[in-house]
Amino acid sequence: MNQNETPLLDGIEKLIETKPAYFRIPGHRMEKGVSSRWTNKVGKEIFAYDVTETPYTDDLHSPEGAIAKAQELLRDLYHADESYFLVNGTTCGNEAMILSCAVDKDKLMVARNAHKSAMMGMILSGAEPVYVMPEVLTEWGIQGGISPQAVRRTFEENPDCKALFMVSPTYYGVVSDVEEIAKVCHEYGAMLLVDEAHGGHVYFHEELPKGALQAGADMCVQSMHKVTGALTQSSVLHVNTKQPLDRERLATNLHLVQSTSPNYLLMTSLDCARYELAMHGREMQQKALDLAREARERIRRIEGFRCMGKEVEGNAAVYAVDETRLVICAKELGIGGYELEEILFEKYAVNMELADAENVLAVITYANEAEDMERLIAACEEISKAYAGKLDKIKYESAVRALPTAVQVMTPREAYFAKITEADWQQAVGKIAGEMIAPYPPGIPIVYPGERISQEIWDYLEHFRLEKRHIHGSKDGKLEEIKIIKEE
């Protein structure tokens, strides 16, 4: 196909050229009605592209024209059977994948480091989760990937799982052995669903890990907004399978989880991001790799700093790493990840993507510049000088721990619709959670609704509460009180 085309962008331009008397929604009438407080800052032109379904601009929920063509080009680029634009992020794609493979107490194998959207998918579908635990990368204090051996063991105990839902790469750029995992899934006649929110770019450079579709996943979802240039909320879902899949049902599920008024700015950003990847994907990724590699080497030379790289590959937790993610640790200076994030933000206006107890994470993309990297490195150098000599190793306490074991009492859906009451967090041990509890970021639930809060789980979460981390799911965001299931 001719990847040089941008059918949706062109369709909207055709519509604008007709200078229509506009009586459709949106009511701001192609820029005229947007607040001048905003347009004075950003200009008006972009708002003309915020349009709706017309013969030139097609309909996401029944595509036949510009959107159908744009999705075809995407499908062609990723060598998929089918590809879909998503306007509600990877969140809705994950929900749709789960809804399409495991419903009404069908067993779904779920990697326990999955993003909370997996849980939302299970609440919608009623699937019964069977968890497979990720490996821990102890020397960095992070969750790694899942191993084919762990997947096989879990299938041996639960051969009736309809699918495996897993994340690869993780936020930290850790890639699992998707190829071997796909073989195990297919041996058991199960679908492999990969949350590839962080991996839309890996397909475009041979020195980046293999993409999930290339490795045999049946479906995957990518947040094109995360690293490939689309606007926030813009994701895509790809299908590439020989397994039985009700494709009509998949399309219906996508209607269920997305707005009936999909935003054309988002969809156009997907069309254009696909165009850039097709035309310049390798150069874009080369730039990101060059920036990240140089920064990694320089950060490693700063006293008290470490930066994770390919040397961690090859153990059970890490099959491969995406080198464009920089996991930076200054614990040798007595600085934990949260503190480092705060210093970088407050003192140097260097914004990291996330922090955990030990590390901060920088996401490097083709759109970063050498100057960004210099600012990050210079800040690390200054911090090193300021802290070296007054090392306070005792202050730093390692929080490296495997995710606690789930004690499932009911499915996420049953728990979601059960009678709920509230409990003081201090009295929560032994109660059944009525909500997910997920320190954010990265948004990995530590407790799913319907799970009993064991002492192990409580201790694990208490660490985040004491650190005053933002906690998604807990009523107040602070974990003072939680929702629990009312037990008769």
Which residues contribute to the site for ligand PLP (CB under 6 A)?
Answer: 89-91, 115, 117, 167, 171, 195, 197, 223, 235, 442-443
Select the residue whose beta carbon is closest to ligand PLP and give its number.
89
Nearest to ligand PLP of 167, 453 (CB atom): 167
The least CB distance from residue 259 to ligand PLP, in Å, is 14
Contact 29, 19 (CB under 8 A): no
Contact 306, 328 (CB under 8 A): yes
Task: Take residue 209 and report the two structure tokens written for it.
Answer: 């890990």
Q: Give strand pairing partners of 27.
A: none
Nearest to ligand PLP of 235, 268 (CB atom): 235
Q: Which residues contact 437 (CB under 8 A, 6 or more apart)?
A: 445, 446, 447, 461, 471, 472, 473, 474, 479, 482
The least CB distance from residue 397 to ligand PLP, in Å, is 26
Contact 107, 101 (CB under 8 A): no
CA 381 to chain centre: 31
Task: Provide the 10 A C-beta neighbour count for residue 462.
Answer: 14
Nearest to ligand PLP of 7, 200 (CB atom): 200
Contact 114, 145 (CB under 8 A): no
The least CB distance from residue 91 to ligand PLP, in Å, is 3
Nearest to ligand PLP of 430, 443 (CB atom): 443
Nearest to ligand PLP of 226, 306 (CB atom): 226
CA neighbours closer than 13 Å in the CB half-sphere of residue 291: 24
Helix (H) / strand (E) containing 195: strand 191-195
CA atoms of 87 and 258, how far apart (whole Å) = 7
The least CB distance from residue 337 to ligand PLP, in Å, is 17
The least CB distance from residue 443 to ligand PLP, in Å, is 6
Nearest to ligand PLP of 145, 442 (CB atom): 442
Contact 52, 27 (CB under 8 A): no
The least CB distance from residue 175 to ligand PLP, in Å, is 12
The least CB distance from residue 55 to ligand PLP, in Å, is 30
The least CB distance from residue 434 to ligand PLP, in Å, is 23
Enter the DSSP assignment of 406.
P
Strand blocks (E) in 270-366: 306-307, 320-321, 325-329, 354-355, 359-363
CA atoms of 389 and 392, how far apart (whole Å) = 9
The least CB distance from residue 325 to ligand PLP, in Å, is 12
The least CB distance from residue 24 to ligand PLP, in Å, is 28
The least CB distance from residue 441 to ligand PLP, in Å, is 7
Nearest to ligand PLP of 171, 275 (CB atom): 171
Nearest to ligand PLP of 360, 485 (CB atom): 360
Nearest to ligand PLP of 167, 333 (CB atom): 167
CA atoms of 7 and 65, how far apart (whole Å) = 8
CA atoms of 207 and 309, how far apart (whole Å) = 13
Nearest to ligand PLP of 57, 235 (CB atom): 235
Nearest to ligand PLP of 334, 443 (CB atom): 443
CA 452 to chain centre: 26
Strand order in the sheet with 82-86: 82-86, 235-239, 219-222, 191-195, 163-167, 107-111, 128-132
Q: Give strand pairing partners of 219.
A: 193, 239
